[in-house]
Amino acid sequence: GSTVPVLPITGTHDFCMRGTIYHWERYTELASQDAIARSHLVVGPWDHAGTGTGANAVGTVQFDNAARVDISQLCVDWYRHILFGGPLPEFLADRFVYYVAGTEEWKTAPSMQDATIGAHALGLRSTKAPNDVFHSGWLAEGPGSGPDYSMTFDPADRRVLDIESKRRPADSAAMGDPSFPLDLPSLQGVTSGADPCEQVFSIAIDGDGLVYHSRALDAPLTLVGIPALRLVVVPDRPDADLAIVLNEVRPDGSALFLSAESMRLSHALPDGAHVRVGEENTVEFDDLRFISRTIGAGSRVRLTLRSAWSSMNPSTVDGVTGEPITLIVRHGPDTTLTLPLGESR
């Protein structure tokens, strides 16, 4: 295995976070124990630009000054430690160093898995009324239940493309890092976390997606780790691309990004399995983006399911999903959102 220590740095709003964590996990599987002992993974609250600048803002989200890190100096000090026997930077107090937004503090753990201390499962429950953001389903304690929901993904539906083509007000372009201007809404920007307050792709749902909300929290809830979603779906086509977005919805109606994923249904089935058209398929989305945030009292968790098609992910790109697709979502014991719990103050 590798004998070279590494210092990967990523952020919860970095569109490269998934790849960084994947390669870190591969590294810890294959590298020598001595190399792993001298390596560290850092996950800050940053977007991709912030992994180089250490800036404490993403879009309109402003983090505490504690989130601001001199990344260049950190790397120089770590290289001096590795190459010349200098002191280990105090910041790298353990293998895994991560920032908890909301409580605005850095924490450490022996591994990314050790930062997650438990799990909280919420069942997906439905109502008889048509589903949208104002008449949503529920994320409730106990098993899922209720009538079926359905959503239709139509390549001829231009609503997402129209939203993505409407420029925001001029002052919006100055949000966050100028290297990543947010002058246009983007579904890809939302699912990557780079546009953490945009909720238009949930609000605009009308037959092309589903929305679920939890009850308002009685007390703050710290989430650290990778959430998972299990669905039971009946598709009328051999495959479909699904976008999953988790938000914290605050009492004033504003939203903050928690996690997301875009995946083809067939990739969420066990190895070797195929999507069964017209039949129930239990799909597991167990590799959503890593969360590290304390949700405030009075806030709710929102789960949005919708088509993943957008200007950056066109429906006809590979010829597999170029036709209208209707997904029926069943609600029962196998429809569950599992949230990873972190250590609270």
Q: Which domains does the chain have, with CATH numbers?
A: 9-115 (no CATH), 118-341 (2.60.120.260)
Q: Is the pLDDT of residue 344 over 90?
A: no
pLDDT for 314 equals 67
Q: Percentage of the chain surpassing pLDDT 90?
A: 77
Q: Do 56 and 67 meet the contact criterion of CB atoms below 8 Å apart?
A: yes
Over the range 39-68, which residues count as b (16 or more CB within 10 Å of their CB) and which as e?
Answer: bbbbbbbbbbbbbebbbbbbbebebeeebb
Residue 43 binned pLDDT confidence (cut-offs 50, 70, 90): very high
Backbone angles phi, psi at 270, to 5 degrees: -55, 155
Q: Kindly state the average pLDDT of the residues 4-25.
A: 96
Residue 162 binned pLDDT confidence (cut-offs 50, 70, 90): confident
Residue recorded with tokens 């560290």: 40
- CB count, 10 Å around CB of 19? 12
pLDDT for 175 equals 55
- The partner residues of 228 in beta bridges, in order of sequence, read 338
Q: Is the pLDDT of residue 249 over 70?
A: yes
pLDDT for 289 equals 97
Nearest partner of 275 among 286, 287, 283, 284, judged by Cα: 283
Q: Percentage of the chain surpassing pLDDT 70?
A: 94
Judge if pTM exceeds 0.85.
yes
Residue 183 binned pLDDT confidence (cut-offs 50, 70, 90): confident
Q: Do 140 and 122 meet the contact criterion of CB atoms below 8 Å apart?
A: yes
Q: Is 285 helix (H, G, I), strand (E, B) or coil?
A: strand
The tokens for 219 are: 């007390």
Q: What is the mean pLDDT of the chain?
A: 92
Q: For 91-100, 197-206, 270-279, 281-290, which range has the lowest pLDDT when averaged over its residues? A: 270-279
In whole angstroms, what separates CA 73 from the centre of its chain? 29
